[in-house]
A and B are shown apart, each in its own frame.
Chain A
């Protein structure tokens, strides 16, 4: 991990994000690690507020971040720029839902794009509406706590697994409580995607969002740590087909601890918490088995 050194800051404070927003760390550490020779594409999302940058930054329409990045990557190649990192920082809505088609296309074409999904588990920028990444039973403004229906009724999809099915060089998850691990993955993406041209790299980071999750901003890092320690957010990587669970607590903490810290889960019954924990543990078991096998 000592090989990760941010040579120069390319992001400049302040930002327009809410206090305690993990997205600021996600974009800052990614871009400062990648350095000046980069261009970043941010679709409509909270990411638009991530702050000023000393590198070229293109906004793009909500559904087409990966497509705009494809154009930038090819345009830079045609203009004779070699080894420029083309980075997308998109939200979960712009990745799991409306942007999935463009991302899938770019992945299949093997575009030289480092795609970072900052997953705050809802459409935060437009007011906390549900997305394909919103956990089951979570409160959002479009999955309210009503007298008949309470919260989201279905499980979220697993975007990293969808990306794995594209046979790309790197699929990884990360957490902002372990920045060295995240930066190492960014460096890996730079090597595999930008330098070796092996295709698109996909890194998804849990973006703890005090505003949308309903918790107090100073708990940002604690929240991210607990998400990992309870198995709610497993941190792993699939590098050219090789699987590795990067953070492996001996025993998982009770999920209840994590859920009870947030307003969006306040209404959950004990049965619901137990079922969600079963869901989390089954996934964890599968990941342990994969880690054992190495693929």
Chain B
């Protein structure tokens, strides 16, 4: 039997608690809303002697990622958190952390650039930087995923940095009951960090240059690592379930009532809870609808979507996302998913729903509307256009915010 405590925690506090349980050795951070409570909490743990770690109160996010890269090169477990403009400011060194294959875990309560509230403008900018990106739904999943994150990122088949992504304010600041594992159970799941290669080790006297191999080869190795990560994410999810009894689909995606569904929505992070509720309402009315939650955006689980499509033969899929690629009029997930399914003979009609930008609410009626649209597409075989919420039905007031 595992020992657990139950507490009422926000997503931020749940992550800070996981970082303590993971026995992280060096943390650097710079404040930004809605991330700050994560590192405030960690500072308290250290100040109270509950956690034995170095905390670098750094002077900005660009430096923060450089410091994490430096500490990671010494072969110790490391963590940071940032979001929005902070994540974008760190871009140059995010890229370096991935190039050096440093298994940094970074918590990102997603926020838009031009507001303090949730959307994926920030992390989508980093979709090509080689970070694993796991979107989580709730404070519980945030805690569980943070613990799994160290296992995944530090696995010698992977060695890629990882972002734990959760909706700013919606998940970062909203309390929920969270099961807190005991230190000894976590120690069983997450043993001390065994670095693959310690780049900075003064006890060694061999000649080590940090120089990187040829770029094309290096890029292929990163791609292989990301492919490996799919298996490793699944394994971590299963082993976590064995010890703690909680499982998030197969680790990459999670399905809800997809059997016999003619249409389904793909959702991410906190909107998934609302979508489950809507599926239940529609199923009660006899509609054959289902739901697929995307947990791993990077690596993108194309094979899992293909398998689902081959198994269930959805007539239409709708992708709901809090981001848009300007100039394409669709979101990143929609583009990736459409590309993944393109080669199938029996491919579904697809609609993109851009919603929740700048933290605007994602309501039951919004997702009901989305289901109605995919059902129509399933039946008529016709897709009109992408749908931006806040125009058709969402309440959108265009204001100039001065943050």
* A contacts, CB < 8 Å to B: 36-39, 41, 52-61, 63-64, 66-79, 81, 84, 101-102, 104-105, 108-109
Closest to B207 in A: A54
A109 touches B200 (CB 8 A): no
Contact A102 B59 (CB under 8 A): yes
A57 with B53: in contact, given A75-B70, A105-B60 (CB under 8 Å)? Answer: no
A63–B62 CB distance below 8 A: yes
Choose among A38, A59, A102, A108 the residue that contacts B202 (Cβ–Cβ < 8 A): A38
A52 to B96, CA, bound (A): 22
CB pair A72–B74 under 8 Å, yes or no, is: yes
B84 to chain A, nearest CB (A): 19
Kindly identify, within residues 28 to 63 of chain B, every residue whose CB is under 8 Å from any CB belonging to chain A: 28, 53-54, 56-60, 62-63
Cα–Cα, bound, A55→B204 (Å) = 9
Question: Which residues in A have their C-beta under 8 angstroms from that of B201?
Answer: 56, 79, 81
The smallest beta-carbon distance between A285 and chain B, in angstroms, is 35
Nearest Cβ distance between residue B263 and chain A, in whole angstroms?
Answer: 47
- 9 A-B pairs with CB atoms under 8 Å apart are A38-B202, A64-B67, A67-B62, A68-B69, A71-B28, A71-B72, A79-B201, A101-B63, A102-B66
Q: Are A70 and B202 in contact (CB under 8 A)?
A: no
Q: Is the CB of A57 within 8 A of B210?
A: yes
Using a CB–CB distance below 8 Å, which chain B residues touch chain A?
Answer: 25-26, 28, 53-54, 56-60, 62-76, 78, 92-93, 96, 198-205, 207-211
Q: Is the CB of A78 within 8 A of B54?
A: yes
Complex Cα distance, B202 from A262, in Å, reads 42
* A74 adjacent to B59 (CB under 8 Å): no
Of the candidates A57, A69, A72, the one having the most CB atoms from chain B within 10 angstroms of its own CB is: A72
Considering the chains assembled together, what is the distance between the CA atoms of A75 and B53 in angstroms? 10
User: Is B66 touching A71 in the complex (CB atoms < 8 A)?
Assistant: yes
Smallest beta-carbon distance B125→chain A, Å:
18
CB contact under 8 A between A56 and B200, given known A64-B93, A67-B58, A78-B76 = yes
Tell me the complex Cα distance, A101–B209, Å: 27
Contact partners of A58 in chain B: CB under 8 A: 70, 73, 199-200, 210
A71 to B76, CA, bound (A): 11
Residue in A37, A71, A105, A108 whose CB lies within 8 Å of B70:
A71
B203 to chain A: closest residue by CB? A81
CB atoms of B93 and A61 under 8 A apart: yes
What residues on A are CB-neighbors of B70 within 8 Å?
Answer: 41, 58, 60, 67-75
Complex-state Cα separation, A36 to B201, whole angstroms: 11
Q: Is the CB of A64 within 8 A of B202?
A: no
- Whether A78 and B199, one on each chain, are in contact in the complex, defined by CB atoms closer than 8 angstroms, is no
Q: Which of B25, B57, B204, B207 contacts A52 (CB 8 A)?
A: B207
Compute how far the CA of A105 lies from the CA of B67 in the bound complex, rounded to whole angstroms.
Answer: 12
Residues of A within 8 A of B57 (CB): 109
Chain A: minimal CB distance from B22 (Å): 14
Contacting residue for B209 out of A57, A64, A73, CB 8 A: A57
A257 to chain B, nearest CB (A): 42
The smallest beta-carbon distance between B104 and chain A, in angstroms, is 11
Cβ-defined contact, A67 with B66, below 8 A: yes
Kindly report which residue of chain A lies nearest to residue B202, judged by CB atoms.
A84
